[in-house]
């Protein structure tokens, strides 16, 4: 159900309306009463409803499936009641349940993977396993299976999956006893970050690790960002100011680049009364050097003596980051693109894929049952494709052996 519009396919209003109604768990008539009907123009209810009836008849006759045959987020307990109501209301004869119960990590919100396994074990259920892995290489694939084994053992045939690794990718597993102390494995990690174009994810169970990861990355001059934040630790624009200042002194830079300098520098550079960036907007859009700006009365002559941008920057939060910025530029990381290194909690990285993953095994709270930390670890390691690093912990207050007890059995579980 798509229309060709201005060189691209648009979704048909019926498809959009049906999807929205399904997402709100409403019938056709119920959703029409509360929706923004203008969103589906030029179609009205009297257009869409007959189309919907014809579409449903076509699906039934040709055994086609749509969103309405699917139950999303089935791991929550109240979805059993919703399923029963949906069967009664719509006379639906079939449903598709899609998901990976081994990645159910939102128990605090009511999720429970046991419901999925119970459904899979009923005589009426027809299970279709997606056997081909599209993310993890051989080593990470083995580690994930080692981690999740207790869950599979609990449920037996209804839980065990084939799940093949990505063809042609092997990868390595490394052990870092502590992120706060250098070792061979951490040096391998730093070197790979600085000498390849691969992506890296640091992930962890609780926020106390957040600070340790920041300190590690900043100490080693590694450009980074939080997964849950669109902005990197240092903006691309601010990096360019440090990188291009020498060109401004000795060659030329664009007007736009000079406008980027302007909010960051103070009275050591700017002539009194020329502090607003709006003062630069009337200038011709071309490249300039510092002498031209001195001659035009925007910059003080003595500003030429400051050979490093760090000497003139006045923005407080940027001043604090100067040592880190210099290390990143010294490492020649590509500051024109978004950082290849990201970090965040396991809950926030679920569903994402990176070339390499680094998992901290620290635990800062008691989990709900023995299987919750197993699924958390499974989700964490399965974010990676090629290599993985495991960071040890000395905090065994809440769980011996750290996350899922991995540290105490690292030789067997981590394929070391």
Long-range CB contact pairs, 143-148, < 8 A, 24+:
143/173, 143/381, 143/388, 143/413, 143/414, 143/415, 144/378, 144/381, 144/382, 146/412, 146/413, 146/414, 146/415, 147/374, 147/377, 147/378, 147/381, 147/404, 147/406, 147/413, 148/102, 148/374, 148/375, 148/378
Token readout for 49 is 């409803």
| DSSP designation for 270 | B
Q: Could you count the other beta carbons within 10 Å of the beta carbon of residue 170? A: 13
User: For the chain, what's the residue count?
Assistant: 416
CA angle 174, 180, 181 (to 5 degrees): 70
Q: With the C-alpha atoms ordered 73, 127, 372, 203, is the resulting torsion angle positive or negative?
A: negative
Cα–Cα distance, 190 to 36 (Å, whole number): 52
- pLDDT score for 1: 46
Rounded to whole angstroms, the Cα distance separating 389 from 165 reads 18
Phi, psi of 237 (to 5 degrees): -65, -45
**Beta-bridge mates of residue 344:** 203
Contact 209, 360 (CB under 8 A): yes
Query: Are the beta carbons of 382 and 135 closer than 8 angstroms?
Result: yes
The dihedral sign for the CA sequence 354, 357, 362, 363: positive
Q: Which residues of 135-161 are buried (b: 16+ CB within 10 A; e: fewer)?
A: bbbbbbbbbbbbbbeebeeebeebbee
SS3 call for 204: strand
Domains annotated on the chain, with CATH = 1-64 (no CATH), 71-128 (no CATH), 138-230+339-413 (3.40.50.300), 236-320 (no CATH)
Residue 390: predicted pLDDT: 98
Rounded distance between C-alpha atoms, residue 105 and residue 396, angstroms: 21
Question: SS in 3 state form for 318-381?
Answer: HHCCHHHHHHHHHCCCCCCCCCCEEEEEHHHHCCCCEEEEEEECCCCCCCCCCCHHHHHHHHHH
Residues 43/44/46/52 CA torsion (nearest 10 deg): 60
Query: How many other CB atoms are there within 10 angstroms of residue 245's CB atom?
Result: 23
User: Rounded distance, CA 220 to CA 327, Å?
Assistant: 7
Long-range contacts of 111-120 (CB under 8 A, 24+ apart): 111/73, 111/75, 111/76, 112/75, 112/76, 112/77, 113/75, 113/151, 113/375, 115/74, 115/75, 115/77, 115/79, 115/80, 116/74, 116/75, 117/155, 117/158, 117/159, 119/74, 120/158
pLDDT score, position 107 = 78
- Classify strands 8-11 and 2-5 as parallel, antiparallel or unpaired: antiparallel
CA distance 209 to 193: 20
Q: Which residues contact 243 (CB under 8 A, 6 or more apart)?
A: 329, 335
**Segment holding 244, helix H or strand E:** helix 236-250
Q: Nearest 5°: phi and psi at 8? A: -150, 165
Tens-level pLDDT at each residue, the chain (416 residues): 444 444 444 667 777 788 778 767 788 888 888 888 887 888 888 888 888 888 888 877 877 766 566 555 555 555 666 666 665 566 666 666 777 888 888 877 777 777 777 777 777 777 777 788 889 999 999 999 999 999 989 887 767 788 899 999 999 999 999 999 999 999 999 999 999 999 999 999 988 899 999 999 999 999 999 999 999 999 999 999 999 999 999 999 999 999 999 999 999 999 999 999 999 999 999 999 999 999 999 999 999 999 999 999 999 999 999 999 999 999 999 999 999 999 999 999 999 999 999 999 999 888 888 999 999 999 999 999 999 999 998 877 788 889 999 999 999 999 98
Nearest to 204 by CA among 399, 107, 346: 346
Q: Beta strands of 185-340 (E only): which ranges?
A: 200-204, 225-226, 253-254, 287-288
């Amino acid at each position: 159900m798509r229309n060709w519009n201005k060189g691209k396919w648009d979704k048909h209003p019926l498809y959009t309306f049906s999807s929205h109604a399904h997402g709100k768990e409403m019938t056709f008539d119920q959703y029409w009463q509360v929706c923004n009907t203008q969103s589906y123009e030029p179609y009205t209810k009297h257009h869409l409803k007959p189309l919907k009836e014809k579409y449903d008849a076509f699906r039934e006759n040709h055994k086609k499936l749509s969103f309405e045959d699917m139950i999303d987020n089935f791991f929550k307990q109240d979805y059993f009641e919703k399923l029963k109501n949906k069967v009664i209301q719509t006379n639906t004869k079939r449903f598709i349940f899609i998901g990976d119960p081994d990645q159910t990590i939102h128990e605090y919100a009511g999720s429970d993977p046991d419901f999925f396994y119970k459904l899979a074990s009923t005589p009426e259920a027809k299970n279709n396993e997606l056997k081909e892995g599209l993310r993890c290489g051989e080593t990470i694939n083995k580690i994930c299976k080692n981690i999740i084994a207790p869950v599979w053992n609990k449920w037996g045939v209804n839980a065990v999956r084939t799940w093949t690794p990505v063809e042609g990718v092997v990868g390595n597993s490394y052990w870092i006893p502590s992120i706060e102390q250098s070792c061979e494995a951490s040096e391998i990690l730093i070197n790979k970050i600085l000498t390849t174009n691969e992506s890296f994810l640091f992930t962890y169970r609780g926020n106390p690790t957040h600070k340790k990861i920041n300190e590690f990355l900043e100490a080693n001059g590694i450009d980074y960002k939080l997964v849950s934040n669109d902005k990197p630790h240092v903006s691309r624009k601010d990096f360019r100011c440090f990188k291009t200042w020498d060109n401004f002194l000795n060659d030329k830079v664009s007007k736009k680049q000079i406008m980027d300098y302007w909010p960051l520098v103070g009275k050591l550079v700017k002539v009194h009364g020329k502090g607003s960036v709006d003062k630069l907007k009337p200038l011709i859009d071309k490249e300039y050097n510092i002498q031209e700006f001195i001659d035009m009365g925007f910059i003080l002559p003595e500003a030429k003596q400051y050979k490093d941008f760090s000497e003139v920057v006045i923005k407080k939060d940027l001043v604090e980051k100067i040592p880190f910025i210099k290390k990143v530029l010294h490492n020649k990381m590509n500051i024109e693109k978004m950082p290849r290194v990201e970090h965040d909690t396991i809950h926030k990285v679920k569903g994402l894929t990176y070339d390499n993953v680094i998992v901290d095994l620290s635990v800062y709270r008691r989990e709900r049952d023995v299987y919750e930390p197993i699924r958390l670890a499974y989700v964490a390691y399965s974010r990676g494709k090629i290599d993985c690093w495991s960071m040890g912990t000395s905090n065994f207050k809440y769980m011996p052996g750290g996350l899922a007890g991995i540290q105490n059995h690292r030789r067997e579980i981590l394929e070391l």
